[in-house]
Amino acid sequence: MPKLLCIGEILVEMVAADVDQSWLEPATWHGPFPSGAPAILADQAALCGATVDLVGSVGADPFGEACLARLRRSGVGLEHVRVDDTGTTGVAFVRYSASGARSFVFHLPETASGRFRLDDPATALADVGLVHVMGSTAFSADAVAAIGRFVDDASARGVPVSFDPNLRPEMLRRPEHVAELRRILLGARVVLASEGELPALLGDASDAACAARLLGGAAQVVVVKRGAAGASLFEPGRPEAREPGVAVHEVDPTGAGDCFGGTFLALYLSGTDPTTALRYANLAAGLSVTQRGPMSGNRSLADLEAALRSPAPGSGRPSQSAGPSSGAL
Amino acid sequence: MPKLLCIGEILVEMVAADVDQSWLEPATWHGPFPSGAPAILADQAALCGATVDLVGSVGADPFGEACLARLRRSGVGLEHVRVDDTGTTGVAFVRYSASGARSFVFHLPETASGRFRLDDPATALADVGLVHVMGSTAFSADAVAAIGRFVDDASARGVPVSFDPNLRPEMLRRPEHVAELRRILLGARVVLASEGELPALLGDASDAACAARLLGGAAQVVVVKRGAAGASLFEPGRPEAREPGVAVHEVDPTGAGDCFGGTFLALYLSGTDPTTALRYANLAAGLSVTQRGPMSGNRSLADLEAALRSPAPGSGRPSQSAGPSSGAL
């Protein structure tokens, strides 16, 4: 199976125990949970059978160890992850409000986690079938430069690019970063976006209009993720394929979109048809929010197949579809 | 009363809920607790009636707000604290082991909290009676430079220096930082050290020998803090004065030495005789460990007087001494 190479932030997350918990008064937090959008995606891709390497950096501290131990256990290749003893592993403090909105305090750009780069593109990209980049990684000028170089190195070697805009509101204030994300988007073969992100980056009126534009360019597959409302797949010359949402009791939505991406890319790289990959990805994302911690809800392809065939009570997902053929996986 | 001016780190602390809690697996933490040795000391000095300003820096985020709100409430002057929107407020994760030892993951040197400096020494030092510096602040080359300049600015204006070595093991690996701390120690009028720190910095065989050497130089008062075993006071031409430990149920010892220092300096600056100041400081430090959070156990002079006169059940401290005369306070 062609290898997937992801780049970006590896950090830990501390999750507020209570909804609307105060930031200002001492309260209870749970963590450290291994996190970072590219790390969550890589973890889930590995659990779904992909050969996946991660390019990243952590501090020489227990939080970095926790991340690497988790990723190693899931089968993610860590050859291109540096342990940087000049800084600490990044930490994101996350709090949910009653509306479902999240707020963060991020220790990232200045930490060891913020200092990733691919040092040896010739070696690292030699046997790679797809590189994946996420907009969440554009958290500093250095990080934007690192992902831009990564994409250029891949393109120069004919390795196609997969991109998830994964926009953070604060990024939209940096026009030069947004321009670089738009450039990466326009060159990507696979696009995995959340609802509204493509219009935010491209200026077209709807996700569907953006998908059509992208499919007229470099893209072969465009997915629009709608959280609890499911997801859509756009391919050239085919009607939009829709997956409905998965009814679950949401505990912690962080990482669901990355779990979606990891599942989709693992299946896509294995040769599974995109419509089936969409179904698995949508299910994986839905199930992932039932556990606290960004990677805690990641699960293997076997688990997903089992859930599709005989859904657990409360998954809200009757066995509405057959799995991908074993041969394709 | 002459003003006290402290400099250094202001950060929040996250405290592991359980003894020997894993760093590597998700667990429960409590926080954010306002922290930073100079901040704890300033907080306690203000609670004990001192006029005290702090020189520091926090990020423009909720953790910085939490620190400033606490310090403001206690009466610490914050005119020289910058809110730096180019970084986050530092965080220290603290875990206790069954042996009582602490281990930390520190996000500090690279954060907004690490970028303090006194910009306007002429104004800031104009009405200051004592400046206080702590070795914990020597966590980066920039920070060491900032405290060195601070001490030089004070000395140039005839403002005496108070110093607490507050050594962190990792600092001893940086000889140039240790040399700067030694220089500050040798020039200090008031020295508040923990057991063993003076021999570590000066090379003499015992705390008492170091105290004698310091009192032969710039020092007028040397205190050696021994945690649960109490404290000693050394003054020129006087025998060592000892305070026994305070028998309490220890919940969280972090900050006890700083609470000691804040109490001692507040009373010292008010004109209280050092022996009485030692008694109050020793009691304040003892009582401070009964609550979780570095500043949570700080308390007012009135509370300390009440505790000295009619000790709370379980304080283990019979009313063995009278308080300082009201006139002196």
pLDDT tens, position by position, B41-66: 999 999 999 999 999 999 999 999 99
Report the share of chain A in percent with pLDDT over 90: 86
The CA-atom distances, in angstroms, between A42 and each of A9, A257, A280, B31 are 11, 12, 16, 31
d(CA B232, CA B253): 19
Q: How many domains does chain A have?
A: 1
Number of residues assigned to chain A: 329
Closest approach of A202 to chain B, Cα-based (Å) = 29
The minimal CB distance from B61 to the residues A31, A105, A110 is found for A105
pLDDT of residue B311: 54
Question: Dihedral (C-alpha) B295, B143, B93, A34: value to the nearest 10 degrees?
Answer: 150
At B214-273, the pLDDT tens digits run 999 999 999 999 999 999 999 999 999 999 999 999 888 889 999 999 999 999 999 999
- The interface predicted TM-score (ipTM) is 0.84
Report the share of chain B in percent with pLDDT over 70: 94
Mutate one of B11, B12, B23 to test the A interface: name it (highest A CB count within 10 A). Answer: B23
Identify the closest residue of chain A to B69 by CA–CA distance: A24
pLDDT of residue A311: 54
Cα angle value A55/A43/A223 (rounded, 5°): 90
pLDDT of B170 above 50: yes
Q: Please answer whether residues B280 and B231 qualify as being in contact, where contact means their C-beta atoms are separated by less than 8 angstroms.
A: no
The model scores a pTM over 0.95? no
Domain hosting A125: range is: 3-328
Identify the closest residue of chain A to B68 by CA–CA distance: A24
| Banded pLDDT at A314 (limits 50, 70, 90) | very low
pLDDT of residue A241: 97
Cβ within 8 Å, pair A23-B88: no
**With contacts defined as CB-CB under 8 Å, which chain B residues touch A13?**
none
CATH number of the domain at B22, please: 3.40.1190.20
Residue B229 lies in a domain: yes
Strand bridging mode A190-194 / A221-225: parallel
Residue B140, C-beta contacts closer than 8 angstroms, at least 6 positions apart:
B109, B114
Backbone angles phi, psi at B206, to 5 degrees: -140, 165
The minimal CB distance from B105 to the residues A26, A88, A105 is found for A88
pLDDT of B146 above 70: yes
pLDDT of B21 above 90: yes
Backbone angles phi, psi at A285, to 5 degrees: -65, -45
